[in-house]
Amino acid sequence: MDMHRTEAGGVPEPAVSARRISKTYGHVEALRNLTLEFPRGQLTSLLGPSGCGKTTLLKIIAGLLEPTSGEVQVNGAPVTGPGPDRAFVFQDFALLPWASVLRNVAFGLELRGVGRTEREGIAEKYIRNVGLAGFENNFPHELSGGMRQRVGLARALAVDSQVLLMDEPFSAVDEQTRRKFQEDLLGLVAEENKTFLFVTHSIEEAVYVSDQIAILLPRPSRVSDVIRPSGLRAKDVADIRRDPEYLDIVDQIWASLRNYVE
Amino acid sequence: MNVLGIRLPGMSSLILWGLLWEAVGQFGISFFLPPLSAVVATLYEIIGTPAFLKALSETARAFLAGVFFAIAIGIPVGILMGKNRLIDELLLPWVNIFLSAPLTALVPVLMVLFGFGLKSIIITTSLFAIWIIILNARAGVMQINRSLIEMALSFGASPWAAFTKIYFWAALPEILGGVRIGVIRAVKGVIIGQLLISIVGFGALFELYSANFLMSHFWAVLLVLFALAFSISEFLAYLERRVDYYAAKR
């Protein structure tokens, strides 16, 4: 497993760090003493079986949940609630059904008090970026699942946060759309100088899109391993799935997780 | 609906019931039920008279004021109850009690408190309508998609912005449903108020016609009232269908 890790010098300094996070709901211990760092400008996946607390951790980092103990820092500052340095992409898209694509994409900016002309200009740019040009005046119920998630992604990009938190963003779209999304996500990580936190339960997806994969084990959740694929980023998106390193890491992760699957 | 392969327009059943009414009236089974044609003729006769128009405007004014207060107070209270657990625990028992309470029995108390005038009639009308409006707004807010709320929080929405930009709209289909039922109850409320508190408006007409056994007059006024309530209710149902997708889960 060590062969996939780059030396400490090769890893950028962390943009987000979670330190000794514990979270209990009543008597249920969701997270125990979890520590993890998320390197700047890279994509880190939180991977694990369902019920392992990966979404809980993401929501604590987002400031939507408060940890029972421990601290999250974003750019060195402790998190006390949601903030403009982080933007969230939701599993079920969380779009306003009564608002057009344009207003939905601009909604983060609207809540932050950006004037109408300015925010719609910014929204139009990101609508083009995610490939939805021409759909500005459509409503969410007129779009396919994949297109709706593009709206959700454009909304998160439009507020130009340093950190993008993605909660199983592709799990509600069909397989073909998901593959296209994964390719596009690699392009996004390369272009935008942002830090991506990506929750998924798909091993293949995690290995395909990640610079760093944190494997979480359940009850109570802890980080069991951190894997950093070394040679996949340089590959063409079409070749990654045939790369021996990709296949090895997928096998390795499955070997370590299979005991935890009921 | 299709009968024998012919598509019937909506409300065709009303024609059937109208014919039955006419037949029963023509046979003179009871003085209580004159033929529909006689009722319509009477309606045509009285509808332009000053007495009728005065009654209509008195009833409409009390009705509109009562509905206005029921909506203006009911919707925010319902939304607050749906959002805030403490307020909900405090108010829910009262809302449920008043929803099922025989409000007519409370009217004499209102007369003592607020006098014999328009004010008491308006309050009676509001009391008939408001509880179901509160309950529906509350239910609408309680079933808002959880991630819409998290979305608003994560983008830094103030409580006021969350209220006006998300809660109200996401709950709008249920809110309109509550307003529709509330408005129908308000029709009952305004007539009961005008019968019991001060004999004015349509209430006075009902009183006058039934006391003098002017049954075709009585039914004519009832038809007008039914038509008004039905139109408002259908209009609100139409709005409700238009905004149905606001409550979509995705």
- pLDDT, tens digit, 9 for 90 and up, residues B128-185: 999 999 999 999 999 888 889 899 999 988 888 888 899 899 999 999 999 999 999 9
The whole-model pTM stands at 0.79
| Any B CB within 8 A of A138 CB | no
Q: Mean of the pLDDT values across residues B48-68? A: 91
Q: Mean of the pLDDT values across residues B72-85? A: 92
pLDDT of amino acid A4: 42
pLDDT of amino acid A108: 92
Per CB-CB distance under 8 Å, the chain A contacts of B156 are 82-84, 111-112
- In sequence order, what DSSP letters do the residues of chain A get, joined into one string? -GGGPPPGGGSPPEEEEEEEEEEEETTEEEEEEEEEEEETTSEEEEE--TTSSHHHHHHHHHTSS--SEEEEEETTEEP-S--TTEEEE-TT----TTS-HHHHHHHHHHHTT--HHHHHHHHHHHHHHTT-TT-TT--GGGS-HHHHHHHHHHHHHHTT-SEEEEESTTTTS-HHHHHHHHHHHHHHHHHS--EEEEEES-HHHHHHH-SEEEEEETTTBEEEEEE--SSSTTS-TTTGGG-HHHHHHHHHHHHHHGGG--
Asked if residues A79 and A63 have their Cβ atoms less than 8 Å apart, the reply is: yes
Task: For residue B175, give the H/E element and its range.
Answer: helix B172-196
What are the domain boundaries of chain A? Answer: 13-85+162-262, 91-160
Nearest chain A CA: its distance from B165 CA (Å): 9
Give the confidence band of B250 by pLDDT, cuts at 50, 70, 90: very low
| Any B CB within 8 A of A65 CB | no
Q: Is the pLDDT of residue B124 over 90?
A: yes
When scoring B154, B172, B249 by the number of chain A Cβ atoms within 10 A, the one with the most, hence best to mutate, is B154
B70 vs B201, which has greater pLDDT? B70
Nearest chain B CA: its distance from A108 CA (Å): 5
Chain A residue nearest residue B154, CA to CA: A82
How far apart CA B221 and CA B226 sit, in angstroms, is: 9
Between chain A and chain B, the number of residue pairs with CB atoms below 8 A apart is: 67
- Amino acid identity at A65: L
List the A195-200 sheet strands across, edge first.
A86-89, A163-167, A195-200, A43-47, A212-217, A222-227
Q: What is the 3-state secondary structure (H, E, C) of B6-62?
A: EECCCCHHHHHHHHHHHHHHHCCCCCCCCCHHHHHHHHHHHCCCHHHHHHHHHHHHH
Domains assigned to chain B:
34-247 (1.10.3720.10)
What secondary structure letter does DSSP report for B117?
S
Q: How many of the other CB atoms lie within 10 Å of CB of A162?
A: 18
Give the confidence band of B14 by pLDDT, cuts at 50, 70, 90: confident
Q: Is the pLDDT of residue B115 over 90?
A: no
Cα distance from N-terminal residue to C-terminal residue, chain B: 32
Task: Please determine, looking at this structure, whether the domain spanning A13-85+162-262 carries the CATH number 3.40.50.300.
Answer: yes
- Sequential pLDDT tens for chain A (262 residues): 344 444 445 788 888 999 999 888 888 888 888 899 999 988 999 998 877 788 889 999 999 999 999 999 998 889 888 888 999 999 889 999 999 999 999 999 999 888 999 999 999 999 998 888 899 999 998 998 889 999 999 999 999 889 999 998 888 888 888 888 888 888 888 888 899 999 998 888 888 888 899 988 877 777 888 888 887 777 777 778 788 888 888 888 888 888 777 6
| Neighbour-count burial of A116, counting CB atoms closer than 10 A to its CB (0-12 exposed, 13-18 middle, 19+ buried) | exposed
Cross-chain Cβ contact B250/A59 below 8 Å: no
pLDDT of amino acid B177: 93
